[in-house]
Structure 1
């Protein structure tokens, strides 16, 4: 069930009406739990059993840890089980193919297992939430939940279930214990977020997608210029697709009285790769920091170990995105860039530059950062290493022939200008938004309705899946 589809709008209208129509807080929790199962089971009901395995594992592990029943062993077993679920369902074919390829390269003939496994939608997101719950209970930062209904809703809450943001138990579980009171202002905030996300996905991302898919689907057929522009297109497509999903999910949750963390903060205005990761997929970057980078040692024990910890974190972060060496390469490149930037920042932190020089330096830093992000989206989007090298070759002027694609320049370039140059810079740098006059509820509702009408008129007819559904 896709947020931008008519099916979801009907589904959410029913859930919204029933939720606020019920007087009992507990009945509302049960309603959201059932609705979340319907939402996830819409793709394939068979995977509900897998999700409930994760829910039961983390719930009963938390209860045992809370009772001090072999907490270290219970935590270890729960983590192994959750990582085992990921290993089997997401990485089994990747690992077996890699081992078979390695054996073949040294002259050993190995038969590949014939096990075919479907990838459950959103498995990386709900397993990470289950893991963080167990680890937080073990650290004592959150109290074990007594009700498996609450634990089940924490893991399966439908606004963020399939593609995040990744929710922390310490943020979400307290909200489940508080009875909700309808707030018209919060409803309008949620509606605004949903509509902006809807525009990002259905108007911007889905307009760019056909061109990007056409070129990357058959790289040999197109010339270098088409490959470069398709990469620029993907640079915008993935942002508007994923940020759009996050905003829609946050908006849906807000309309139901729940607050989820912000997942994007205009990453394409970043002037360093470190800043980029503070603004891009915030829930994942903070999760990796708190549950992987810091436990590995973080910034402790010297510079070399810090760089090691950073590289391990980004390699695993790349692999989290998908079972492919291209994603490992993407993570490695970002890990190296983060290491280089942190070393550079440490060496130049005491340098004072005149205003004009600082402005030019900042502009150059922005350009270099965004060029790096653009180029590293190539292995993220390409099908394999050969495709990655082909597209990167196009950026340095190599052209193996092929036809010129019909490039929708406005669709590719205008959305990035609108979001990053106008909205992002004004709100993040100059905070102009705070000076705008507040709108009354009626005016705001009419304005949101007008935005919705424009968005519906501009969206393509075909409803496309979100990119991060595959992760």
Structure 2
């Protein structure tokens, strides 16, 4: 489901219209107040739209969902703890093994981080619904609770707004909402959902897609150009992925379902640990709850080993290239160093933000640069004092044509305005409250046809 595609919205409105009409007919015919009809229609709608986008991934999801439900029930009902764990381990082996095959074993996988087209054999969404199923199985066994029936569980895994790029929902949050799901459109839900959709489109079309053409990752000898490419890449990645998440949240909200907020104004963070509590929230909480804490978390003397494992897994989740592991190792070192130094001294908030933003910006170089020789060359450039000479600055200014400088400055100024709006409610549960105000949403919607990029690119996280 590519929200930037007109075909998606035509399919969405067609499927939603059919389901809304079918709901009325079936409920009147069956004379029932049960929401079984709603859940059946939701499942059919989700699978139909997903199958139109990727028949392969839809097939994998159906098989894995059925297998997960069967094995989870067997694990919960097992007579002994060891048997329960063995069945759970078998389930996780199948889920994670399938994910590993498509991500790391299949030689056809060549998707890049900087927005390259999706590899032809990588099933879209598999990274996200696999982790959702794994969490579902683990939580059910931990709680010794019989999992919900196939209709509820299947809708959780296949729910169309989130199946491709998350958020990675947990059964404790989504299943209760599905139990009372009604395939209807209500004015309060529309009023709550539409501003999120507008904001997501603005992030994607106006910010991410306009930043993209200015990202020049080739220069490796000019520190100014390397820093600028990394800054622009980080901003594009944020506006692109957050934009997708906001549209998904808004579409789900149209039907009365509240998804978890996957971003919480991360570029306003004053520490690396805070940044990762605000960026791709559901992935990091998944790794925390199912890897870090079970390993002992920070309660053991080898806490850095636990941090290292989590971040190497996070890097591996993004892809098989060595640079992703280096990126994970870098953030593990950031967090370890931050934990060691924080009791000794504390920077003023502004300087703490500068240090955090600089460290994160440097990490994007490691994230997008897949050629290790070039990556090392860029790293040496960034720490070499001579790379910051006046001659290098003049060369960097000449790198962009005169006609590009004003548009680039404009898009950076607009990005800064967005971050300033986030700052107003940074410490609230929803830091985007200013941008979701009805008047602001109307203004952003009016800006869409005026400021949108001429060509839209696929969402970056489809490649993961």
TM-score (norm 1): 0.83
Q: 1:274 to 1:59 in 2, by over 3 A?
A: same
Contact kept in structure 2, 1:124 and 1:320, CA below 8 Å: yes
1:107 is aligned to none
State the 1:41 CA deviation. 2.2
Distance, in Å, in 1 between the alignment partners of 2:193 and 2:327 is 34
Contact kept in structure 1, 2:103 and 2:109, CA below 8 Å: no
Contact kept in structure 2, 1:94 and 1:324, CA below 8 Å: no
- Aligned to 2:293, the other structure's residue is in SS state helix
Which range moved further: 372-381 or 226-235?
226-235
Q: Deviations over 1:281-312 (max 9, x none)?
A: 1111111100110111112223xx11110111
Q: How many residues align?
A: 429
Q: Deviations over 1:262-288 (max 9, x none)?
A: 111111110100110111111111111
Distance, in Å, in 2 between the alignment partners of 1:95 and 1:89 is 9
1:100 is aligned to none
- Aligned to 1:58, the other structure's residue is in SS state helix
Q: Deviations over 1:426-471 (max 9, x none)?
A: 11259999998x98xxxx4x87455323213321232211111111
Distance, in Å, in 1 between the alignment partners of 2:127 and 2:257 is 22
Unaligned stretches of 5+ residues in structure 1: 98-115, 352-357
Distance, in Å, in 2 between the alignment partners of 1:342 and 1:433 is 26
Q: Deviations over 1:115-170 (max 9, x none)?
A: x9811112110110111111011101754112x23222211111111111110011
- Aligned to 1:137, the other structure's residue is in SS state helix
Distance, in Å, in 1 between the alignment partners of 2:60 and 2:109 is 22
Q: C-alpha root-mean-square deviation of aligned residues, in Å?
A: 3.0
1:23-422 residue pairs with structure 2 within 5 A?
23=24, 24=27, 25-68=35-78, 70-93=83-106, 118-140=121-143, 143-146=146-149, 148-180=150-182, 182-212=185-215, 215-216=216-217, 218-219=218-219, 224-302=223-301, 305-348=302-345, 361-396=348-383, 397-398=386-387, 404-406=399-401, 407=404, 408-420=407-419, 422=420
- Aligned to 1:3, the other structure's residue is in SS state coil
2:458 is aligned to 465
Distance, in Å, in 2 between the alignment partners of 1:177 and 1:432 is 25
State the 1:13 CA deviation. 2.2
Q: Deviations over 1:376-431 (max 9, x none)?
A: 001111132123234334434546989713454225522431122x2121112599
Distance, in Å, in 1 between the alignment partners of 2:177 and 2:275 is 30
Which range moved further: 182-191 or 203-212?
182-191
Which range moved further: 8-17 or 236-245?
8-17
1:101 is aligned to none
Contact kept in structure 1, 2:262 and 2:281, CA below 8 Å: yes
Distance, in Å, in 1 between the alignment partners of 2:432 and 2:108 is 51
1:11 is aligned to 11
Q: 1:321 to 1:280 in 2, by over 3 A?
A: same
Q: 1:376 to 1:16 in 2, by over 3 A?
A: same
Distance, in Å, in 2 between the alignment partners of 1:95 and 1:451 is 40
State the 1:223 CA deviation. 5.3
Contact kept in structure 1, 2:214 and 2:408, CA below 8 Å: no
State the 1:14 CA deviation. 2.7
Distance, in Å, in 2 between the alignment partners of 1:126 and 1:435 is 29
Distance, in Å, in 2 between the alignment partners of 1:225 and 1:288 is 35
1:108 is aligned to none
Distance, in Å, in 2 between the alignment partners of 1:204 and 1:134 is 38
Q: Deviations over 1:211-270 (max 9, x none)?
A: 21xx22x447x9554333222211210010011111111111011110111111111110
State the 1:40 CA deviation. 2.2
